[in-house]
Chain A
Amino acid sequence: MTQIFRIFPAMSGWAGKLFLTPIFYIVNLTTFSLLALRDWKRYTPLLKKDSYRNLVTQMIFTGVDALPAIALLAVITGFIFTFRLIAIVDSVGGSDDLVNILVNVIGLEIGPLITAFILISRTGSAIVVDIGNMKLHGEIEGLEYLSININHFFVGPRLLGCAISQLALTVYYTTITMITGVVISSFMLSAEYLQLLSSLSTAISPTMLLAFVIKNLSFGFMIAAAACYHGLKVVKSPTEVPQQTQQAITNSLITIFIIDGFMGLALLA
């Protein structure tokens, strides 16, 4: 009996920690992101071209350089998801809702998620290693001695650059994957499926478009926020860099699924 009284507080403490840790993490991450944006806004005059150099650099790295990988993946998944989906619906006798299904499944779910996976593995990890190593070698401290605001110089441009790149890449990915799937279907199932291309462009409602934009911007923003947050958590040991990278990747994945879940609920409501 006494054993139970001993174990119970430990168990409840463990459960409490398990429950509170993600909440604190989300609060910390949100505060960190908002502070970074505040500093970025404070020092960067809007519409002033030369203030956006870091933002453009980040967008080139995250958006433009990732295009070949995204294009290849879009063609492959066009066969795996889009064509398979059309084939399954075709095998059960077809459906008038095929366009709707494609827009919701490929456009609103698979597209943003696959692009986010690429962004996490490519950009997210690069940001953590980049910032982590700079912190480790005193490069960031050196900039602080020169009155350079780190949130303004490093974090803000990465947050916005990743958010915009995620949106642009998802548009690119979704377009290619849809076209690939429909073209393969027209060859392998029926040439009539080519008509889906014109139907798809008109099937997107304003609500869906808004959800698509918000979801992708949030994905990109949170991926960069988690990466910068973990990069800046590196203190003095080189082993912290891989540790923080791994945590950033895991937490980014969890975060985007949470956002996706909330967005799904919001759309249902």
Chain B
Amino acid sequence: MANISAAQQITEGIDLNVENGEIIVLTGAENAGKNDWLKTIAAIYYPLSGTINYFGKNSTDYSNTERSQLRKRLAYVTADVNLLSVINGLANVMLPAIYHKLGSVDEIRSRAMDLISNLGIDDKIELLPADMKKDQCFLLMVARALMLKPRILFLEKPFCSMDTVSSEHFKKFLNHLAKQKNTTIIISTQDINFIRKYADKVVYLSLENSFSFEHVEDFLNSRNTQIATFLGETNIL
């Protein structure tokens, strides 16, 4: 599906093969550039060197129009952006599907309601984003991105603003999305519980270097000092 072999300025390059339905976690110390990496892998930033192949084609070979179309297949959700403030939650979720004409309005509404219900935020759909909590807005943004039926979902620090209950529900939803709906999920997070429970592959990033693990157990049992320290600190947290 995707083959990543790229480098950013702050760390050494990473090499990774991404398959359908996998959950891949980018983790590491603070300020290790996880989000820059995530944006690079999501074809929002250009890599400084190396290649990122999506669906058999190098991301730098996509024209501007193709790159814009690629965004439909590579959904990116971050807390740094916001829902449209002038329309309510449901309209926000329906917007991309209506814009790209992915069905009749009734079909789109029904799909949006299903997604919202699965995410456990159905009581908030009539509210404007200004009247919602940050985590509810984030979940609606996830629903909005999933309306385009992306092949890969990128999530930037998704559990930061969530309480334990919502976070656990969302993690299960993501796992279901990956394993049942075959959507690949790439996440930047320091949540070690999520990594333990749901991750298939892990990329550890630090200021100096990076390590890719094809199996989560390899990461958890790594003898590397940096990773061991990281795991120790996050365990205490």
Q: Which residue of A lies closest to B73 (CB)?
A: A147
Checking B71, B77, B141 against A147 with a beta-carbon cut-off of 8 angstroms, the contacting residue is B71
Chain B residues lying within 8 Å of A11, measured Cβ to Cβ, are none
Chain B residues with Cβ below 8 Å from A133 are 85
Q: Please, how many residues of chain A have a CB less than 8 angstroms from a CB on the other chain?
A: 15
Q: A139 contacts the other chain (Cβ, under 8 Å)?
A: yes
- B236 contacts A by Cβ under 8 Å: no
Q: B201 contacts the other chain (Cβ, under 8 Å)?
A: no
Contact between chains at B100 and A134 (CB < 8 Å): no
Given contacts A147-B68, A147-B148, A149-B68, contact A142 B82 (CB under 8 A): yes
Q: Does A146 lie within 8 Å of B84, measured CB to CB? A: no
Q: Are B69 and A138 in contact (CB under 8 A)?
A: no
**What is the minimal beta-carbon distance from B185 to any residue of chain A, in angstroms?**
16
What residues of chain A lie closer than 8 Å to B144, measured between beta carbons?
146
Minimal beta-carbon separation of A243 from chain B (angstroms): 21
A173 smallest CB distance to B (angstroms): 29
Residues of B within 8 A of A143 (CB): 84, 95
* Candidates B75, B84, B95, B99; contact of A145 at CB < 8 Å: B75
Residue of B nearest to A143 (CB): B84
Which residue of the partner chain B has the closest CB to A137? B82
Please, which residues of chain A bring their CB within 8 A of the CB of B106? none
- What residue in chain A is nearest B68 (Cβ atoms)? A147
Closest residue of chain A to B99 (Cβ to Cβ) is A148
Q: Is B83 an interface residue (CB 8 A)?
A: yes
Q: Kindly state the separation between the CA atoms of A147 and B72 in the bound complex, as whole angstroms.
A: 6
A153 at the interface (CB under 8 A from B): yes
The CA-CA distance from A146 to B75 in the complex, in Å, is 7
Quick check: is B54 within 8 A (CB to CB) of the other chain? Answer: no
A90 at interface, CB cutoff 8 A: no
Closest Cβ of chain A to B54, distance in Å, is 14
Do the beta carbons of B100 and A142 come within 8 Å of each other? Answer: no
Q: Is the pair B145, A145 in contact by a Cβ cutoff of 8 Å?
A: yes
- Tell which of A138, A139, A146, A153 touches B71, judged by Cβ atoms closer than 8 Å: A146
A137 touches B75 (CB 8 A): no
The 0/1 profile, CB within 8 Å of A marked 1, for residues 16-36 of chain B is: 000000000000000000000
Provided the pairs A146-B71, A147-B69 are in contact, do residues A139 and B148 lie with their beta carbons within 8 angstroms?
Answer: no
A-side contacts of B84, CB under 8 Å: 134, 139, 142-143
Which A residues touch B72, using CB under 8 A? 146-147
Give the Cβ gap from A165 to chain B, nearest Cβ, in Å.
19
Residues of chain B within 8 A (CB-CB) of A139 are: 81-85
Please determine whether B96 and A148 come into contact, CB atoms closer than 8 angstroms: yes
For residue B75, give the distance in angstroms from its CB to the closest CB of chain A: 7
Chain B residues in 8 Å Cβ range of A142: 81-84, 141
B23 CB to closest chain A CB (Å) equals 20
Interface residues of A, Cβ cutoff 8 Å to B: 133-134, 137-139, 141-149, 153
Q: Knowing that A134-B85, A147-B68 are A-B contacts, what are 18 other residue pairs whose CB atoms are under 8 Å apart, sorted by A's residue number?
A: A134-B84, A138-B80, A138-B81, A139-B84, A142-B82, A142-B84, A143-B84, A145-B44, A145-B71, A145-B145, A146-B71, A146-B144, A147-B69, A147-B71, A147-B96, A147-B100, A147-B148, A148-B99
Interface set of B (CB-CB < 8 Å, partner A): 44, 68-72, 75-77, 80-85, 95-96, 99-100, 141, 144-145, 148
